[in-house]
Chains A and B, each alone.
Chain A
Amino acid sequence: MYNINFTKYKYFTLSFSLFLIVAGFVVTFVKYGGFAHSLDFNGGLRTVVELPADKTRSDLEGYFQSKNIEAVVILLEKDKNIYQLDIGLGSLDTIESLYKEIPEVNRESSTSAIDRFVQLLRYEYKLPKEKVLSADQVGAVVGGELTEVGITLLLTTLAIILLYLSIRSQFKFALASAIALVHDILMTLALIGFLQIKPSVPIIAALLTLLGYSINDKIVVFDRIRENSHGKDNLAFSNIINVSISQTLGRTINTSFTTMISVVAIIVGGAVELYDFAFILLFGVLVGTYSSIYIAAPISEIYDLIRKKRFV
């Protein structure tokens, strides 16, 4: 049996997490002025083009990068070299100025952003008109509405979990789980903002998955703590926590490891568009595991300490 003092560093880990979250959000909002823009959340321009056979995805990506245009390039059909290009609204000004650089002879006057972008593309890639299969300005798939629903959802979920866990076990465990869940979400959001990962439907899926994983993880640890505290009131609560975490450590490592195998497979596999999804999941699994041990357990202990002090 391992004997590690997990709760010894509780004040350090708690402040460390708080620091990371605050730092992440400061960088996000002060340096970048908020989360990255994405087509799914803010809308933007979407075109589908058929490129000459000698052009590849990296050509396109290189071009957009060199011109400082935020673009997502999706390969729709391999045989015909058809790509979908999603351009964020943040790049409209860049497109505007690039459009003005097209020689007069090659450019038709137009006012809409999407027209100008198509002309830019056609000029740059010498595309005949019929190779631009579609082009339109699209609205957000998710966005304002989702953020609102998301927050309501999170709060309601937390409330229900608090209630269920309070009834099934004790309030301190419920409270600690809820705080740890908030911690996980905030930590991941801080990372998304810090790295300016574009929010998208897959990212939402990843966030939801890590939420589910994290709940699961906390409950397993707390169940063991609760079981071990039966009839051991004289034992220091921190000891019980340490023993319980040690007992479940094998399981924690195993489950984290198996989950990570699948996630890493996606990252290594090289599905470009799934990379963000897998990355967030990987981070989520690590954070979820970390917070069960170093956030949730210590918080329940601190709650216990405060309560005892008050009533003694």
Chain B
Amino acid sequence: MQSYRLLILPFLILAVSFTILYPNFADRDLKIVVREDVYALPEAEQKILVNALFERWAKDYGKTSGWTIEPTGTLPPKENPFYTVKGRFITSAKINQISQENQSLVSESKNKLEPTWIENAIRGGKSLSIKLGLDLQGGMRVVLKGDFDDYTSKLKDLYAKELNELNVTLKNPTAKQEEKDKAKSRLAEIESSFDLSPMRKIVELEKAKMIIDNRLTTQNLTEPQVRIQKEQDAIEVSLPGVSNSAAILEILQNTETVEYRLEEPNPFVFKGQIADNERRTMDLGKREDTDIFLFQELVKNKAGKKAQDEFLEGLEKKYNIPKDYKVYAMWARGNSAKSALLPRSFVVLERKIALSGNDMTNAQPSYNSNSYGWMVSFTLTPNGAEKFFDLTSENRGRNLAIVWGDKVISNPIINDPIAGGRAEISGSFSEQEAIRLANVISEGALPIPLSVLEMRFIGPTLGIESIEVGVKAVAIGFFLVMIYMIFYYRLGGFIADISLLVNIIILAALLTLMDFTLTLPGIAGIILTAGMAVDANVIIYERIREEIEEGRALSIAVTRGFENAFWTIMDANVTTLIAGILMIRLGNGPIKGFAITLCWGIVTTLFTSLFLSRLFMELTVNRLGVHHLNLRPFFFGKKETTNV
């Protein structure tokens, strides 16, 4: 391995690592955005809010952290409604704290840590700073309560048709007794499913928990904890260091479903009425008054699902739509593929669900090169396939709408019965939307709507005191180990120390790149990594020393020392790596956090001890003219003579 041109490699890796780690140490800007409604308040009330912030600032934030805030003591101008905080080590916990303590002043979801140049360059503005787990810095805890009333009403929609038919059979005087009995028992069966036993509730909550788990893992939160609180039919979610609670809440509560519903039969009487009325308003030049325009405004202003539902219900009243039907908006993009997905017109669908998301599985997004758009293909369950075939053969010529959440995304006409159990949804999707839709189909929608029962920010497992002392202790321990290595192996110890430092730096950069959330077990993993890295060097030096003692020339002793130690180090690390990978796959929460740091730590350790240390060592011995390598401790070491 005597090509010293390889030296460029460690320097390159170090440079990249430092660049990645830069945002952790850099002076950063944080924008704390003032709520819009604050500006409408009387001046006296504004003053109270502003004073509360700055009193706390003077007492705590500013004093201990050395951060500065602009403008000080007043409300920022309305055109630029934010305070700019400048400083190092701005953590999400601190941002949360400021937001939470000044809720009536600060619009939390809009707070933003300005990305540094490096984050802009390689991450498109996404954060590159190391995230700390809930156990280290606290975070958000949300308790979501299952809304079982809503759940049963949806269930009733699903069985609406069958219930109707069964009731007809029961009331039919000409029906056979046998048929009536059958209908009766089926009716009882369906009705019992509306009646939720505690057991059933737990099952539904378990499903919801699994889906939330899946959703959170795609949100770069490595160690969210999701658990069920049986006593109150609720799901508790702990989110380490979450700064933007609004966005996360939206993801958690998203009850988006995928359903097929039949459109009203052709000619579209109700849809026609609405369209006629809209056209008339347009002709009068009052585009702003059309319902679709109003609805688009609602969507653009992010008025929320409730407001949208109310708007559509209003339309149902306005046009006297019968109870069996429901008004939906048809969503599509404008002229270009990049324009926003917005409601474009209204359609009227049957209230009953023809085919629900439960009948579909294994959805995959794919790119359709014919229409230059994304689509989603999926498999139907055997039961679903049968239903779908019946549906399509009974309703030829009618339109079958696909409803995603509460958006109708397409309503193709049924030309032929569809058999085979595979189908696809093509709409004007972007890649993200296609992935989201596929996720909803594959993972399933949340079985029950969830409402926020409680949301608060909680304290860390360890107090600040312990963390401060702990960090100091680990740092001192590290330092002492490094001193000891130099004391014991002299020049060799120094090389080992350098490779240990490089090891930790590369590991930190790797973990940052992977959006890893650092927790207490994670730190334990790093400590173990450092221990094993030191051990690898110890093994190597003991081998080199043995070679020297046997009278080999120094450069040969070094080479042989590394070669002899190679498999020992490999075996030890590979075995630990296997255990680590198992932990990642089987473990949860704390075990996973530990295992991820450990596994990557092993990778970096193998690199630094087998490649980097060797490179440095051979360079020292062969090029820098070190002819005597004493690997015995100071004071105790007997003088060694080696043949050069």
Contact = CB atoms under 8 A, between A and B. Distances in A.
B524 A213 contact: no
Interface stretch (B74-82, B186-194, B469-477): B469-477
Given A209-B524, A270-B469, 5 more contacts: A75-B465, A161-B575, A165-B571, A271-B465, A271-B469
A139 B236 contact: yes
A213 B534 CA distance: 12
A205 B590 contact: yes
A258 B539 CA distance: 13
Interface stretch (A4-12, A152-160, A296-304): A152-160
A264 to B, nearest CB: 8
A18 interface: no
**For the complex of A and B, 10 pairs with smallest distance between CB atoms:** A262-B477, A269-B473, A265-B477, A205-B524, A75-B463, A205-B521, A271-B469, A223-B568, A273-B466, A271-B470
Nearest to A165: B575
A266 B588 contact: no
Contact of A79 (B59, B459, B463, B595): B59
A157 B582 contact: yes
Interface stretch (A99-107, A123-131, A249-257): A249-257
Contacts of A268: 473
13 contacts: A74-B460, A84-B459, A84-B463, A134-B456, A142-B589, A208-B591, A209-B527, A209-B594, A215-B575, A265-B476, A268-B473, A269-B469, A269-B476
A151 B260 CA distance: 45
A142 B542 contact: no
Contact of A160 (B227, B527, B582): B582
Contacts of A223: 567-568, 571-572
Interface string B51-93: 0000000011000000000000000000000000000000000
Nearest to A224: B568
Contact of A250 (B472, B542, B574): B542
A250 B590 CA distance: 34
B576 A274 contact: no
Given A77-B464, A251-B542, A262-B531, A274 B225 contact: no
Interface residues of A, number: 67
A151 to B, nearest CB: 11
B481 interface: yes
B442 to A, nearest CB: 24
A55 B60 CA distance: 20
A78 interface: yes
Given A160-B578, A216-B576, A273-B463, A255 B534 contact: yes
B477 A266 contact: yes
B621 to A, nearest CB: 21
A280 to B, nearest CB: 10
B470 A201 contact: no
B191 to A, nearest CB: 33
B600 interface: no
Contact of B60 (A79, A204, A261): A79
Given A164-B575, A255-B531, A78 B465 contact: yes
A262 B478 contact: yes
Contacts of B185: none
B474 A262 contact: yes
Nearest to B461: A201
A144 to B, nearest CB: 11
A152 B586 contact: yes
Interface in A188-238: 200-202, 204-206, 208-209, 211-213, 215-216, 219-220, 223-224
Contacts, number: 212
B484 interface: yes
Contacts of B587: 149, 153
Contacts of A258: 481, 484-485, 531, 534-535, 538
Interface string A276-301: 01000000000000000000000000
Contact of A262 (B135, B481, B488): B481
Contact of B524 (A169, A206, A220, A264): A206
Interface of A: 48, 74-79, 84, 134, 139-142, 145-146, 149-150, 152-153, 156-157, 160-161, 164-165, 168-169, 200-202, 204-206, 208-209, 211-213, 215-216, 219-220, 223-224, 247-248, 250-251, 254-255, 257-259, 261-266, 268-274, 277
A219 B472 contact: no
Nearest to A136: B454
Contacts of A161: 575, 578-579
Contacts of B583: 153, 157, 208
Nearest to A134: B456
B534 A215 contact: no
Nearest to B598: A212
Nearest to A202: B520
Interface string B440-472: 000000000000000010111111111101101
A203 B620 CA distance: 42
A254 B571 CA distance: 20
B349 interface: no
Contacts of A146: 588-589, 591
Contacts of A200: 461
Contact of B578 (A48, A74, A164, A269): A164
B473 A255 contact: no
B434 interface: no
A206 B484 CA distance: 24
Contacts of A248: 542
Contacts of A274: 462, 466, 469-470, 473
A141 B575 CA distance: 29
A251 B477 contact: no
Interface in B565-615: 567-568, 571-576, 578-580, 582-583, 586-591, 594-595, 598
Contact of B574 (A141, A164, A209, A224): A164
Contact of A205 (B481, B520, B578): B520
B241 to A, nearest CB: 16
Given A74-B463, A153-B587, A208-B583, A216 B535 contact: yes
Contacts of A145: 588
B643 interface: no
A210 to B, nearest CB: 9
A154 B492 CA distance: 37
B166 to A, nearest CB: 42
Contacts of A202: 461, 520-521, 524
